[in-house]
């Protein structure tokens, strides 16, 4: 209970009227303004990057870097930081983004909430958050599809894609089908008018190129990432382009289950029940963010997709009422802390064992898990056959 109260204090005690800010959805400009303001109010632990690239219509896509203070401290690479900066500190980096799909308004809102909680938690000496920020550097992009997001406010509330003018006169590429991972291999449409149009070529969209370049070129110490969407209450792990399990399945499954459990326990009686599953279990897609982070990005903690809820009781689809922003954000924030706690443990283990040994252990555990499941499936099939045989015998 005390911990719960502390959370509230962090939000109310800051003079930025946080509770109010999360009582409505905001336009892109306001989200950028607030991100900048949050960074300015926490200069020792945050750095606002105004643009990692521009959208089709020319909007700048900003990110915020967040980490424990660096001045004069030795980073994990043994080098002393020359200036106080929250950017490129040498610490393991975690990417988070919202707003890849325009209409999924809860994603930018929840990402802002989590960002704010990391900053304010550090300031108020929350031990868990302090530990995480001292250890990791976060790179957060609240809205990576600003044109689509704006259009969902001004044109069509249910718009999903960006605002590219396609060759046939229709609009929009589904950004989450356009990334440089197995692009064009299925699970996406080649029809420009389709909501899941993959685009004319791989990474054809400037929004995708901006994020992809930043992740692959600027984030040299990337270890994990989460792409927030809605809706469906889901924690989606690798892989997304094929239903073949990842060689890291044992670790991923545990992380997903832990995250799910911590959301379930976020607030007694008033939580969403998330499912934890392989992304391709929902449906396989190609050209998606999560797989790019795991594969091209080689993040050992993988790329994930989280599908936020469509209400406490279900039924609003993408039109989650603004009154649900805080409940949905609070619980997913608990999930994020669990996710980061697990990443932190694995990180320590990996440092202790060495990357190669660690990788081997995770792969061995995953293999054992698969074998056990095969055995169990065999046993189930065997028992079923036996049952049928007995039944036939009885009937005879
Ligand atoms: O289809 C998507 O892009 C995501 N779902 S949504 O309803 N928000 O559109 C899920 C993507 C999951 N990841 C992969 N399949 N790779
Ligand atoms: Zn989505």
Atom 2 of ligand 1, nearest CA residue = 176
| Inter-helix orientation angle 106-123/28-41, to 10° | 10
- pLDDT of 292 reads 98
Ligand 2 centroid distance, CA of 240 (Å): 13
Give Cα 269 to chain centroid, integer Å: 25
Residue to substitute in 159, 234, 282 for testing ligand 1 pocket (most ligand atoms within 8 angstroms of CB): 282
First to last CA, the chain: 64
- 288 Cβ below 6 A of ligand 1: yes
Q: Is the pLDDT of residue 389 over 90?
A: no
Token pair, residue 210, equals: 């901006």
Q: Is the pLDDT of residue 3 over 50?
A: no
User: Helix or strand or coil: residue 237?
Assistant: strand
Alpha-carbon distance of 31 to 47, in angstroms, equals 16
Across 386-393, average pLDDT: 78
Q: Is the pLDDT of residue 13 over 60?
A: no
For β-strands 303-308 and 234-237, DSSP reports them as: antiparallel
Ligand 2 centroid distance, CA of 150 (Å): 16
Q: Is the pLDDT of residue 21 over 90?
A: yes
Using the atom order of ligand 1, give the atom closest to the CA of residue 280: 15
CA distances from 130 to 127, 134, 328, 368 (A): 5, 6, 23, 36
Residue to substitute in 99, 229, 310 for testing ligand 1 pocket (most ligand atoms within 8 angstroms of CB): 229
- pLDDT of 381 reads 84
For β-strands 137-141 and 93-97, DSSP reports them as: parallel
- 229 Cβ below 6 A of ligand 1: yes
**Summary count for the chain: helices (H), strands (E):** 12, 8
Alpha-carbon distance of 100 to 108, in angstroms, equals 9
- 188 Cβ below 6 A of ligand 1: no
- 286 Cβ below 6 A of ligand 1: no
Alpha-carbon distance of 374 to 124, in angstroms, equals 49
Q: pLDDT tens, 29-59? A: 999 999 999 999 999 999 999 999 999 999 9
Residue to substitute in 107, 148, 176 for testing ligand 1 pocket (most ligand atoms within 8 angstroms of CB): 176
Q: Is-above-0.85 flag for pTM?
A: yes
- pLDDT of 15 reads 46
Neighbouring-strand partners of residue 46: 66
Ligand 1 centroid distance, CA of 18 (Å): 30
For β-strands 46-49 and 63-66, DSSP reports them as: antiparallel
Check the CA dihedral 314-319-320-323 and report its sign: negative
- 101 Cβ below 6 A of ligand 1: yes
Q: Is the pLDDT of residue 391 over 90?
A: no
Out of 307, 346, 357, 394, the active site residue is: 307
Ligand 2 centroid distance, CA of 297 (Å): 20
Query: Residues of 185-207 as b/e, b for ≥16 C-beta within 10 angstroms?
Result: eebbeeebeeebbbbeebbebbb
Q: pLDDT tens, 111-134? A: 999 999 999 999 999 999 999 999
- 178 Cβ below 6 A of ligand 1: no
- 176 Cβ below 6 A of ligand 1: yes
Is 307 one of the catalytic residues? yes
Q: pLDDT tens, 244-281? A: 999 999 999 999 999 999 998 876 556 789 999 999 99
Integer-rounded Cα radius of gyration of the chain: 22
- pLDDT of 355 reads 97
Ligand 1 centroid distance, CA of 281 (Å): 11
Ligand 2 centroid distance, CA of 244 (Å): 22
**Residue 121 near residue 10, CB atoms below 8 Å:** yes
- 290 Cβ below 6 A of ligand 1: yes
Split at pLDDT 50, 70, 90, the class of 188 is very high
């Amino acid at each position: 209970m005390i911990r719960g109260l502390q959370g509230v204090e962090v939000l109310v005690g800051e003079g930025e009227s946080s509770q109010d800010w999360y009582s409505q959805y905001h336009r892109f400009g306001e989200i950028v303004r607030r991100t900048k303001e949050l960074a300015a109010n926490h200069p020792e632990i945050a750095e606002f990057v105004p643009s990692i690239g521009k959208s089709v219509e020319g909007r700048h896509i900003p990110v915020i870097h967040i980490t424990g203070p660096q001045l004069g401290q030795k980073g994990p690479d043994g080098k002393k930081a020359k200036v106080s900066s929250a950017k490129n500190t040498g610490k393991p980096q975690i990417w988070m983004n919202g707003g890849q799909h325009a209409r999924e308004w809860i994603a930018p809102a929840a990402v802002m909430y989590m960002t704010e909680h990391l900053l304010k938690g550090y300031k108020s000496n929350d031990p868990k958050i302090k530990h995480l920020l001292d250890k990791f550097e976060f790179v957060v992009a609240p809205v990576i599809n600003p044109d689509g997001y704006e259009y969902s406010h001004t044109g069509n509330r249910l718009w999903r894609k960006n605002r590219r003018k396609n060759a046939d006169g229709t609009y929009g590429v589904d950004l989450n089908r356009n990334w440089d991972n197995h692009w064009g291999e299925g699970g996406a449409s080649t029809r420009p008018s389709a909501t899941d149009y993959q685009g004319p070529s791989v990474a054809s969209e400037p929004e995708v190129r901006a994020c992809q370049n930043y992740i692959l070129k600027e984030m040299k110490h990337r270890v994990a990432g989460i792409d927030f969407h809605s809706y469906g209450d889901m924690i989606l792990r690798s892989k997304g382009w094929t239903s073949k399990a990842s060689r890291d399945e044992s670790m991923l499954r545990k992380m997903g289950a832990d995250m799910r459990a911590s959301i379930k326990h976020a607030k007694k009686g008033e939580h969403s029940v998330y499912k934890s599953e392989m992304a391709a279990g929902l449906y396989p897609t190609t050209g998606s963010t999560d797989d790019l982070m795991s594969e091209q990005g080689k993040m050992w903690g993988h790329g994930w997709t989280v599908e936020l809820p469509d209400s406490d009781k279900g039924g609003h689809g993408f039109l989650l009422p603004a009154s649900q922003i805080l409940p949905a954000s609070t619980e997913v924030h608990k999930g994020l802390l669990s996710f980061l706690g697990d990443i932190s443990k694995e990180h320590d283990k990996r440092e202790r064992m060495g990357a190669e040994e660690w990788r081997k252990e995770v792969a061995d555990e995953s293999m054992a898990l698969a074998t056990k499941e095969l055995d169990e499936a065999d046993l189930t099939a065997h028992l079923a056959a036996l049952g049928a045989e007995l039944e036939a015998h009885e009937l005879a």
